[in-house]
Amino acid sequence: MAIRPIIRFPDPRLRVAAEPVTRFDVDLRALADDLLDTMRAAPGVGITAPHLGVPLRLVVLELAPGEAGVYVNPVLLSASAETIRHVEGSVSMPGVTDEIERPAQVTIGYRDLEGVERTEAAEGFRAVCHQHEIDQLDGIFWIDRLSRLKRDRLIARYNKLSRA
C-alpha cells in the first residue's frame, strides 16, 4: 500500500475513457489499496485509477471512515428522473468546488475485486459519488457538467490558487 501522485487538471489523461479491467489478480488488489491510501491522504471520498494516471475502470469510495468500497468496471444501469444538487470537487483539482445537478437515485452494476458481478442501489450523496466517478472513468471531468461561464470562472479560481 502506497500513496501515489495524483495527476492534476488540466492533464489530458483526465479526459480519456478508461479501459475495462480484465485481470482480477494481486496487482488489481494492490492498485485498489494504493487508491484508498492516496484518496485518504488527498483527502477525498472517491478516487479512480485514472486520477493516478492508470487508465483502468476502478473506483474506490469511502463515504464514512472505515467503510471503503471498491468498484471494478462500474456502469450506470438506471437513474431516477428526480434530481438533486450537490457540491462536487476533485482530488485532481483541489481547492475548488461547485454545485452540480444529477439524478437523486441510481443503480450501478460492477464487479468486486474477485470478479463477482454485483449491483448497488444508491440515493443522495452516494448516488452523486457513483455518477461523479463513473463520469471520470468515461473521460468526463466533473467541471464539464457546469455551464461554460461557471466552468471558466472555476478554472480561473483554480489557476489562481495553483499559483499561490
Residues 106-160 pLDDT 10s = 999 999 999 999 999 999 999 999 999 999 999 999 999 999 999 999 999 999 9
Listed residue (40, 45, 32) closest to 112, CA to CA? 32
pTM across the whole model: 0.96
| Strand intervals (E) in the chain | 46-48, 58-62, 68-79, 83-88, 98-103, 105-111, 117-123
For the cut 90, the answer to whether the pLDDT of residue 1 exceeds it is no
**Peptide bond before 103: cis, by omega within 30 degrees of 0?**
no
Query: Residue 163 has what pLDDT?
Result: 87
- pLDDT band at 74; cut points 50, 70, 90: very high
Grid coordinates representing 17?
Answer: 475513457
What are the two backbone dihedrals, phi and then psi, of residue 160, each rounded to the nearest 5 degrees? -65, -45
Contact 74, 134 (CB under 8 A): yes
The answer to whether the bond into 10 is cis (omega within 30° of 0) is yes
Superfamily of domain 12-163: Peptide deformylase (3.90.45.10)
7-20 pLDDT, tens digit each: 999 999 999 999 99
Residue 73: pLDDT band with limits 50, 70, 90: very high
30-61 residue pLDDT tens: 999 999 999 999 999 999 999 999 999 999 99
Annotated catalytic sites, by residue? 133
Cell of 19: 479501459
Give the residue-averaged pLDDT of 90-104: 97
> 141: closest CA among 46, 12, 3?
12
Q: Work out the pLDDT band at 79, boundaries 50, 70, 90.
A: very high
Lowest-pLDDT range of 74-78, 134-138, 160-164: 160-164
DSSP state of 113: T
What does the alpha-carbon distance between residue 164 and residue 160 come to, in Å, rounded to a whole number? 6
For residue 25, is pLDDT > 80? yes
